[in-house]
Chains A and B, each alone.
Chain A
């Protein structure tokens, strides 16, 4: 401490701290600018892109129908995945060894086999079980019976294949989220007299959501594009609609651009939605309010 401690000092006398010079950044700007210019030049002058054809098919009825199917499939698959995921995650974390084993087996099987195989498998279920029925197995009575070829359309095959697979992945995401919640939270909730389901729904799950939402957003975005794999069971989603069109008019590149642009638009919308949901579940965790006095 010098003699003038506590007295106001002259600010101009204190040496200012400056940012270092960024010589390398100018080379970076030049390099990135060059690549950007080349991409723009190609987009504008390469006749292969055929922007007029792209524009013509962007709002084509078949393309829009394909988008509708893609969205419908994504929403339903994610719903199935989330519900299955919660159930399987809770089973896996339960103290009951039988439930735990079943959950483990589910995740092991559906995460361990390629979706493509599962899709085609469900689509061809009729060759394994010509008749689907609900009843007592090993010759017991049947309450309900339906032909497999009627029950399994390309839509139900896609729903089953993608949904079961998604359930296995969501189970792991949700399990990780539930494990991230401080065990003291569940204890405090129990001590207040909350029943087990109330403790789960009101205290544990909302806090787990903070860890569950970001990877789930990732899954939704992935699934939106992954539904294109359902074209192998000839489901008329976006990719299959576009394939149908270019198989007839041979405008492959422009139609692939149409599909890519639409996927990009939809993913952008989803990303914005995800940001809002993440903000909601970080309630009470932000530093926006002043700290305690």
Chain B
């Protein structure tokens, strides 16, 4: 439209469809995330939020449509105007630049905290042990667990494990962070410490897409909020508007219920 192009969004999700068994879990989803933006995905369970998030790093590959991160189509290659699925080894190169934090932490139980964090930088990026360990120690300090480097995940609380998982993802210096309900598996009194780490991260300008049930948290942190239901985004826009004055009746009902439940 104009000659001075606005910076292209870091993430572009364009008309993504996904079928699982008999069900269509994603029915033509479009969503953008600008550089440095925090996008929160909310909505009732079964809406397709996690599936959409997992399409962004190709843990699941969409049946139709494209996901672009930093201008590159994820998990597929365009050839003669047609999309072909990439080989896993090629996808892994793309995934290295996209951090992901899971609901169940998924730390590697057979490795110490330090090895959990340094393994991928050394093995995937080819960093030296010394460099990787230095940065791991920095990151552990940032998430407030500098003294836990030699512990094993099983001996840490859920909140500590999730903070380690965030440090592990950050160790790859990702250009994008994905969070899949990062506090849903935590005891209520441990939720705060994980949310604080995510808030700190948002303040550094990291681009983040967060699937969450914590409406209050989303209000504080999100630039953009998108509400999903039944495989489509029913409402998206500036977080303050969407999360305080939703226009769609389903979003209204969802937000009212979430706030009543004390989230």
Known pairs A202-B119, A290-B155; A195 contacts B88 (CB<8 A)? yes
Query: Are the C-beta atoms of B110 and A192 separated by less than 8 Å?
Result: no
What is the size, in residues, of chain A's interface with B at 8 Å between Cβ atoms?
Answer: 26
A147 within 8 A of B: no
Minimum Cβ distance to chain B for residue A283 (Å) = 6
Residues of A within 8 A of B152 (CB): 283-284, 289
| Cα–Cα, bound, A185→B102 (Å) | 10
A187 within 8 A of B: yes
B151 within 8 A of A: yes
Known pairs A193-B120, A193-B172; A285 contacts B98 (CB<8 A)? no
Minimum Cβ distance to chain A for residue B53 (Å) = 11
Query: Are the C-beta atoms of B172 and A192 separated by less than 8 Å?
Result: yes
- Which residues of chain B from 74 to 105 have any CB-CB distance to chain A below 8 Å in the complex? 88-89, 92-93, 95-100, 102, 104
A48 within 8 A of B: no
A207 within 8 A of B: yes
Residue of A nearest to B156 (CB): A292
| Cα–Cα, bound, A195→B160 (Å) | 27
Residues of A within 8 A of B131 (CB): none
Query: Are the C-beta atoms of B110 and A196 separated by less than 8 Å?
Result: no
| Cα–Cα, bound, A259→B168 (Å) | 55
B24 within 8 A of A: no
Task: Mark A252-293 against chain B: 1 for CB-CB distance below 8 A, else 0.
Answer: 000000000000000000000000000001011100011110
Query: Are the C-beta atoms of B88 and A196 separated by less than 8 Å?
Result: yes
Residues of B within 8 A of A283 (CB): 110, 152
- Which residues of chain B from 151 to 207 have any CB-CB distance to chain A below 8 Å in the complex? 151-157, 160, 165, 168-169, 172
| Cα–Cα, bound, A278→B169 (Å) | 31
| Cα–Cα, bound, A101→B169 (Å) | 38
Give the most central of B88, B95, B106: most A CB within 10 Å. Answer: B106
- Which residues of chain A from 186 to 214 have any CB-CB distance to chain B below 8 Å in the complex? 187-196, 198, 202-203, 206-207
Query: Are the C-beta atoms of B106 and A192 separated by less than 8 Å?
Result: no
Selected contact of B168 from candidates A192, A284, A289, A291, CB within 8 Å? A192
Query: Are the C-beta atoms of A187 and B102 separated by less than 8 Å?
Result: yes
Query: Are the C-beta atoms of B108 and A185 separated by less than 8 Å?
Result: yes
Query: Are the C-beta atoms of A184 and B106 separated by less than 8 Å?
Result: yes
Selected contact of B109 from candidates A189, A191, A195, A285, CB within 8 Å? A285
Query: Are the C-beta atoms of B95 and A207 separated by less than 8 Å?
Result: no
| Cα–Cα, bound, A74→B12 (Å) | 58
Query: Are the C-beta atoms of B110 and A207 separated by less than 8 Å?
Result: yes
Query: Are the C-beta atoms of A184 and B120 separated by less than 8 Å?
Result: no
| Cα–Cα, bound, A202→B152 (Å) | 16
Query: Are the C-beta atoms of A193 and B92 separated by less than 8 Å?
Result: yes
Known pairs A284-B153, A284-B154; A192 contacts B160 (CB<8 A)? no
| Cα–Cα, bound, A195→B123 (Å) | 10
B259 within 8 A of A: no
B37 within 8 A of A: no
Selected contact of A191 from candidates B57, B89, B151, B153, CB within 8 Å? B57
Residues of A within 8 A of B156 (CB): 292
Query: Are the C-beta atoms of A292 and B160 separated by less than 8 Å?
Result: yes
Give the most central of A195, A196, A206, A289: most B CB within 10 Å. Answer: A195
Residues of B within 8 A of A192 (CB): 95-96, 119-120, 124, 168-169, 172
B146 within 8 A of A: no
Query: Are the C-beta atoms of B110 and A284 separated by less than 8 Å?
Result: yes
Residues of B within 8 A of A185 (CB): 106, 108
B72 within 8 A of A: no
Residues of A within 8 A of B165 (CB): 188
B59 within 8 A of A: yes
Minimum Cβ distance to chain B for residue A288 (Å) = 9
Minimum Cβ distance to chain B for residue A52 (Å) = 53
Residues of A within 8 A of B119 (CB): 192, 202
| Cα–Cα, bound, A187→B165 (Å) | 13
Known pairs A283-B152, A284-B109, A292-B156; A198 contacts B123 (CB<8 A)? yes
Residue of A nearest to B57 (CB): A191
B111 within 8 A of A: yes
Residue of B nearest to A187 (CB): B59
Residues of B within 8 A of A292 (CB): 155-157, 160
Residues of A within 8 A of B157 (CB): 292
| Cα–Cα, bound, A232→B90 (Å) | 52
Nearest 6 CB-CB pairings of A with B: A193-B96, A188-B106, A192-B120, A284-B152, A191-B100, A292-B157
Chosen A-B contacts, 13 in total, with CB atoms closer than 8 Å, are A182-B106, A184-B102, A185-B106, A188-B108, A189-B108, A191-B98, A192-B119, A192-B169, A194-B123, A196-B89, A202-B119, A284-B152, A284-B154
**Contacts from B to A (Cβ < 8 Å):** 57, 59, 88-89, 92-93, 95-100, 102, 104, 106-112, 119-120, 123-125, 151-157, 160, 165, 168-169, 172
**Contacts from A to B (Cβ < 8 Å):** 182, 184-185, 187-196, 198, 202-203, 206-207, 281, 283-285, 289-292
